Structures are given as structure tokens and as C-alpha cells.
Amino acid sequence: MSTMTDPPKSEFRLSMLINDTRYRSLTFQVIAAIVIALCIWYLGNNLIQNLRAAGLNISYSFLGDSAGYDINQRLVEYDSQSSHARAALVGLLNTLLVAFLACITATIFGVAAGVLRLSNNWLVSKLMAVYVEIFRNIPVLIWIIIIFTIMTAVLPAPSAFRGENPSSSMLFDAFAFTNRGAYIPRPEFANGLFSSTALNWLLVIAFLIGSWFATREIEKRATKKQEETGERPKTLLLKLGVWLVPFALLMLVMGLTWNIPELKRFNFSGGINVGGPLIALWFALSIYTGAFIAENVRAGIQAISKGQTEAAAALGLRQGRIMNLVVLPQALRVIIPPLISQYLNITKNSSLAIAVGYADITATLGGITLNQTGRAIECVLLLMLFYLTASLLISTVMNFYNASVKLKER
């Protein structure tokens, strides 16, 4: 009776790195990585040596020097005596602000236009088609300049709100829209739980996050109840209570007040000043990118089989409910990947803000600071690092969301 034994294992030899298919691909990848690393090292070392020969040593000490210029639109305290690093921070926050606002409004415009373009109403569908074709085929820089020019020409000057019979009046005695921008009330905490305003705002943000998680838990419980009994309990009043009651109590304890803008000598003071350049850039990026998002939404909806719509209609669902509950959730897997690219485009296109005088990071760090200090390489490297980091963060967040909404097979 013969005995079955495993064949002896062959010893590893260096020749196997080339001849053995198990190791060959890994060998070539390691060699390619080493060659690329050597090329990067050579180019970087050559750059440093050439800069030293020209008397230009890379240094970021200039960030601590006084900037010497003013910035009108800012989210943090800043004056002309602040450092270049502070000015760069102001520009960075301004860039993130306009990118965040534009991403939200562009999504709203794009989803609405994409859905309405597939409407059975001929006039509505054609109007949305005209919107898409006009705005996506004209450069965004032109739209920024057009919107900013219209704002400064059409809206009244602050002096129009002055006098016994002013030609313009404030909306609800709290909002003023002028050719310099919009002035809106600013929330303040008279009796905040913390002495620092930032800590009070962090408490508000924590409340919003907690309410959001509570709402998700309510939805999960309602879904579980529906799966068990076949009937979904009503959750609208409960969700409203989760949001409104704690928020009202929090605002009462913290003493929420509103700082209303008032017309002084030549301009409004108090409240929040949303500058004209910010509004023009925000609106232009929104309507321009919204046209591209509309096409992504239309493609995602058309990718869903008509049988899904017909089956939902056979169950008695109306068109609006069919779109919200059946079509769009399935279309997200087609819409989200190109939507990530549109969000990245908004962030990068915000660098055109300098055309209307909006102080984003390109205008501060890559514009005034660069010209004043002459540190072109350092400023450009910092700009590249910021846009690279922002793009990677947006891609990571959106890819995580895309993985959470994709279809999961049982």
C-alpha cells in the first residue's frame, strides 16, 4: 500500500524573482518604485542646489512678518498688522466658505434641473434644457463677472436707505441688500454657558449633531417596526420635537439675541456683512456647476429601468413619491461618482475669486503675500498642499457616502 506525501517544497532562489510568475510582478513594481523615488530625489536635490546657487533658500519665516494689507471679508479677527500666516488663514477660511456654500446650492439647482428636464411638461423640460446648455457652455469666469456687474449696477447704494423718504427700505427692518453686499442679523449669546463665543458655538454644533443622530435612530426604529408589522408609525411630530424643543431650551438658557445692522454715516454697521464679491462668486459657481450636476442627475434617473416606475405606479404611488422613494435612491449609485468631480471643480474654480476682489487663499497667499515677499516657490507649494488636501478630503468623504448608499445584495 503506497503512502501519499506532499511534494517537497523548493528552496527560494534569486532567479525566481524573474522566472517565477509568483514573484515577477512584485519584482517589477519594486524596481519601478525605486526608480521613481530616485528621480524625485534627483529633481528635488537639483532644485535645492540651483536655488542655493541663485541665493534663494526655501524658508517660511516670512509667514511671521506683518502682512500690511486689509481684508474686507473675513471669518476670524484680522487687521493690517496681522501676520502673513493670519492672512493666509483668512483666505483659507474664505475659500472653504464659498466652496461649502456653492456645493450645497449647486446640488439643489442640479437635482431640481435634472428632474425637471425629464418632466412631461414640454415647456418646463425645454426651459431646463436651455439652462443647462447656456450655463455649462460659457466659462464660469464670465458668469462671475456678469453677476458681479449686475449686482453693483442694479442694487441700491447704502445712501439710498437714508433720509425721511428713502428710495429703498430694509426687508423686515433687519435685512439690507445693497451694491456692496447683503447685511443680515448676527446671532449673539447674551448669557452663554461659556465665556468664549467659540465654545458656545461648539455647543450649538454638538446639539445639531446629537439631534441628527437622534433623528436617524427614530427612522431606524420606524423601519424596524414596519418590517415587523407592515405598518410604518408616524414620526414627523417626534422628529420635530427632537429638533425644536431642545433647541428652544438651549437658546433660552444661552440668551440668544440678534444684532441688527444699522445705517451709520456712509455704510451699515453691525450684523453680518455678506460682501458682493462673495455673493457673485457663490451664485456663479452654483448655477454653473449646477448645470453639470443636472446632466449627472438626468443620466442617473434614465439608468433606472422603466419597469421600476411602472411597478410603483401600479401600487398607487404618485409621480413625486415614485421619484423620491423609488427612482432617486437607486440612481444615487450612478449620480454620486461624477458628483464628486463637480465638488472638486467648485473648490478649484473658487480660485477665480480674485477677478471680483474676493480674498480667497489664492488672492491672499498666492497674490498679495507672494508679491510682497517674493517667496514664489514657498507660496505656490503651500497653495498646492491646500488644494491637494482639500480635494483628497472631499473625495474621501464622498466615497464613504457612496459606499453607504450603494445597493447591497443579500
Give the CATH number for residue 381: 1.10.3720.10
Residue 105 counted as domain residue: yes
Same domain, 28 and 143: no
Give the distance, in angstroms, between the CA of residue 242 and the centroid of all CA atoms in the same chain.
27
Do the beta carbons of residue 185 and residue 260 sit within 8 Å?
A: yes
Q: What is the pLDDT of residue 8?
A: 55
CB proximity list for 339: less than 8 A, separation 6 or greater: 107, 293, 296, 398
On the question of pLDDT at 154 being above 80, the answer is: yes
Same domain, 112 and 44: no
Average pLDDT of the segment spanning 218-242: 80
Same domain, 299 and 356: yes
Average pLDDT of the segment spanning 86-91: 89
Residue 89 counted as domain residue: yes
Which is it for strands 272-275 and 268-269: parallel, antiparallel or unpaired? Answer: unpaired
Q: How far apart are CA 405 and CA 410, in angstroms?
A: 15
Amino acid at 179: N
Same domain, 398 and 266: yes
Instruction: Provide the CB-side half-sphere exposure for 154 (13 A, CA).
Output: 8
Q: What is the DSSP letter of 368?
A: I
Cell 449686482 belongs to residue: 151
On the question of pLDDT at 144 being above 70, the answer is: yes
Same domain, 31 and 111: no
Residue 286 counted as domain residue: yes
What pLDDT, in 10s, does the model give residues 175-200?
888 888 888 888 777 766 666 666 77
Last residue within a domain, chosen from 33, 53, 73: 53
What's the chain's Rg over C-alpha atoms? 29
Residue 397 counted as domain residue: yes
How does the average pLDDT of the chain come out, rounded? 83
Separation in Å, CA 230 to CA 76, 188, 210, 223, 234: 53, 47, 29, 10, 13
- Count of domains observed in the chain: 2
Q: How far apart are CA 224 and CA 65, in angstroms?
A: 60
Query: pTM of this prediction?
Result: 0.79
On the question of pLDDT at 311 being above 90, the answer is: no
Same domain, 38 and 172: no
Same domain, 21 and 166: no
Residue 190 counted as domain residue: no
What pLDDT, in 10s, does the model give residues 246-282?
778 877 777 777 888 887 777 787 778 888 889 999 9
Q: How far apart are CA 278 and CA 158, in angstroms?
A: 18
Q: How far apart are CA 167 and CA 162, in angstroms?
A: 8
On the question of pLDDT at 60 being above 70, the answer is: yes
Residue 237 counted as domain residue: no
Same domain, 274 and 144: yes
Same domain, 180 and 34: no
Q: How far apart are CA 366 and CA 371, in angstroms?
A: 8
CB proximity list for 197: less than 8 A, separation 6 or greater: 189
Same domain, 143 and 38: no
Same domain, 310 and 166: yes
Q: How far apart are CA 64 and CA 61, in angstroms?
A: 6
Range of the domain at 170: 84-185+260-405
DSSP 267-320: SEESSEEEEHHHHHHHHHHHHHHHHHHHHHHHHHHHTS-HHHHHHHHHTT--HH
On the question of pLDDT at 204 being above 70, the answer is: yes
What pLDDT, in 10s, does the model give residues 358-385?
888 998 888 888 888 888 888 888 999 9
Q: What is the pLDDT of residue 127?
A: 92
Q: What is the pLDDT of residue 228?
A: 78
